Structure 1
C-alpha cells in the first residue's frame, strides 16, 4: 500500500499551493482530485483572465474584507503571506498582469497561465498529482490516515482537506470536505451561496423585463453595508459586481436599497433641469443621467408624468428619494449553480489559526474555501488560498510525522 508524508484532497488553488510548499520541504506529497483537470475554478475566474489577488488583501482595511463567524481568524495566515509574495511568483514565471480597479490584479493573457505556473511548481517540488480519482473513505489510527481512493488504497501521516465548497457543482463541487469535518468531529457553520446574482418573483421580473442586459454604476446597500460598483439587470433579477458583493450579506426576506446616482445630489440635478429645461418630460430628464429604459421604469413606478417645470418641490423630492434609495426585495439567489464561493464551512473554533490543523485530530488540516472564511469579490478569495504557499507554520507542521502532534 503506497504511503505518503502528505496527502492533499483537492487540486484547486489552496491544495496546489500547500502541495508546492510541502514538496519543497522534502515531503512526499500526493494531490488527489476527482476532476479531469486541476485548478478548474482558476481557469474560469476573472472572465478567463484570473483575478489572482488584490493588493489590498492584507492591509488593515483589507483584513476586514473576509467574512467569518470569527473575522479575526484569517489575520494570522494573511499576515504571513502577502499579495507581493504571490506577485513575485507570477513575475518569476513571466506572466504579464495589470491592475483593473480597486486593487484587483488580472492576467493580461488567459487564466490558464496561473494553472501552468502552479503545475510547474508542483512538478519541481516532486509532487504527485492524480486526477479523475474519487475519495471513497478516510479513516485514522495512531499511525496516520488510510484513504480509500477509487483506484487504490493509500496511507499518509498528514491529510490536508482542500476540497473547496459547494459552488458551481457542474465543475465538480461537492460536500466532501464538510462530510470529512463531520466525520472527525469538527463543527460546521451554516453554508450558503455567496458572490451570487439575486433573483426576483415573477411580478417584479415582469416589471424589470425590458431592463435585461442594462448595466449602470450604483451603490447597493444592505443595512450598514454598501458597495459601489456596476449593477447589471438580468432576465432573472440583478447581477454585476455590486450585487455579487452585497449577496454575501443579504438574507432571504431582506430588501436592498440602490443609489442610482452615486456621489451626485439628485435634488440639485432635478431642480437644475426644472429651471433650464422646464418643458422636458420627467422621464426624459432622468434619461439624461440614467439608461433610458431604466429612467422610463422609474417614472412609471412613481406614476408621475408631465413636464418637469410643473413639478412641485414635493414631487421632486419623491423622485429624488427613488433615485437615491430605490428599494427592491429579492426572493432568492441563483444558488450554488452560479455562486463564485460558498459562505460558511468548517468552524474556525475547531482549527488552529497558525497551522490550520484540527485541534482534536492531529495531522488533519482544512484549508481554503472549505473553511468558514470568505473574501470579497476581487481577488480576496484567491489570496486566502495562496497563503498556504509559504505559510511557515503549516509547512513546518507538515514537515514532521504524526508523532510531532502527539507530543505537542
Structure 2
C-alpha cells in the first residue's frame, strides 16, 4: 500500500477528470489522477472530427436532458463557456466558431488535452497512465483504491469515468457499478447522439439514397430541431438524427419535414406561374435530385403530368406528405456509434452545488457518468468542465 494519503483521488483522465485535477491542485489539495488508457483525453482527441467542439457559447440549461431538469443549472451558471474560453485563449489555442456558438479547435483537439495536462502539472497534480482501478472501498474516512500494482488512499474520491460509448477507447460502466456499490441509485441508460437503423422494409427503399444529405426539421411531441439529415446504408444519421436521438425511446416514431422552409402555398403559387411544369421540377429546385426521384417513385407522382392537371388539394396533400414523414426506427446504432450515454448516477443522490454524494461523504461524480446529457454541439464538454469545476471548488 502506498503510505501517502491524498486529499483527492480522481478516477478517469478524460475531460472532466483532467479539469477536476487542475482545479483541486490549484487550491492546494494533494491530487492523484488515475487513467486506465495509454493516453489522456482520448474522447477529446476523436471528437469533432479531431478538432474537438470544446464548448458552445450559447449553452443554457435548456440544452440538457435529465430526470431532474433543474439539477445542472447551478454548476453551469458558476462555470460558463466564457470561463473555459478564457483558459483556451490563455494558451493561445486558435479556434473557430461554426454553427450556433459551436467552438472548435482550428488545428487539432490535441491542443485541448495538452492544455489540461499542462494545467494539472503546473499546479502539482500527479497524473498516472495505464492504471486501471480494480476496486474501491471506504474505511473510516479514507477511500481505498486498488489497482493491479498497489493501493492508494484518499480523503476524497472523484469519479470521472465517463459512460458506455466507444468501448475501444475505454468506454465502460465502471462508474455506474461503483455508484451501486455505495448504494446510490442509477437511472436507466441508453446510447444518445446516435444514428438510427431503419427497418428492413424501409431500408430497402432508401438504400439508394446512402450519402445524400439535406436540411430538415425533425420533431416529436417533446422537441424539434432544424439540422441536416444524412441517409446511410444502415438508416439515418447526421446532426438532425443525433439531436432527436437524445429525446427518443425504442418503439417511438419521429417526424421529418423535408421542406422546412416551404409550404403548400409555395407549390400552389408555383403552379400558377409555371402550369406546364411537372411537380418534380418544383421539388428538384429545393431538394437533392436523388431524393426527389425516390420520393416521386414512393408517392407515385408522375414525372410528365403537368402541375395544371393537379387539383390544389392533390398538390397540398403531396407537400404535406413531405412535411410530415413519420419514421419508426428499428433501433439506434448503439454505444459503438453513440457520442454519449443518456442517464447515469441519479441526480437525486448528488448535491447540485458540489457534485458530492449526499449519503457518502467525500464521494463525487462528475461528467458523463451523471444523469445529465447535453445536446449535440459542445454542450457535453461544457457539462464536463462545469461539473468538474463545481466538485473541485467544493472539496475541503
TM-score band, normalised by the shorter chain?
Answer: over 0.9
Deviations 1:288-333 (A, max 9, x none): 2100111111111212212322111121011111221112211110
Q: TM-score, normalised by structure 1?
A: 0.93
1:395 aligns with 392
- Tell me: CA distance 1:379–1:318, structure 2 relative to 1, closer, same or farther (3 Å): same
- Tell me: CA distance 1:153–1:244, structure 2 relative to 1, closer, same or farther (3 Å): same
1:382 aligns with 381
Matched residues in 1 for 2:218 and 2:124: separation? 47
Mapping 1:69-108, distance limit 5 Å = 69-108=67-106
2:281 aligns with 284
1:4 aligns with 6
The answer to whether residue 354 in structure 2 is matched with residue 355 in structure 1 is yes
Corresponding residue SS for 2:335? helix
Measured after TM superposition, the shift of residue 49 of structure 1 is 1.1
2:245 aligns with 247
Corresponding residue SS for 1:353? coil
Matched residues in 1 for 2:242 and 2:374: separation? 12
Deviations 1:34-78 (A, max 9, x none): 111110111111111111111111xxxx21111000010001111
| Uncovered stretches (5+) of structure 2, i.e. residues with no partner | none
2:145 aligns with 147
**Farther-moved stretch of structure 1 (11-20 vs 222-231):** 222-231
Mapping 1:283-362, distance limit 5 Å = 283-305=280-302, 306-362=305-361
Matched residues in 1 for 2:20 and 2:321: separation? 50
Q: Judge conservation of contact 2:57–2:102 (CA < 8 Å) in 1.
A: yes
1:29 aligns with 31
**Farther-moved stretch of structure 1 (230-239 vs 321-330):** 321-330
Over the aligned positions, Cα root-mean-square deviation in angstroms equals 1.3
Deviations 1:240-289 (A, max 9, x none): 11110000111112111111122222x13322332333333322321121
1:171 aligns with 169
Deviations 1:169-188 (A, max 9, x none): 11110100000000000000
**Which of 118, 121, 128 matches 1:120?**
118
Q: Judge conservation of contact 2:21–2:392 (CA < 8 Å) in 1.
A: no
Deviations 1:103-128 (A, max 9, x none): 11111111111001001111101111
Matched residues in 1 for 2:86 and 2:256: separation? 39
Q: TM-score, normalised by structure 2?
A: 0.96
Q: Judge conservation of contact 2:222–2:247 (CA < 8 Å) in 1.
A: no
The answer to whether residue 192 in structure 2 is matched with residue 194 in structure 1 is yes
Matched residues in 2 for 1:389 and 1:337: separation? 26
- Count, aligned residues: 392
Corresponding residue SS for 1:336? coil
Corresponding residue SS for 2:115? helix
Matched residues in 2 for 1:50 and 1:243: separation? 20
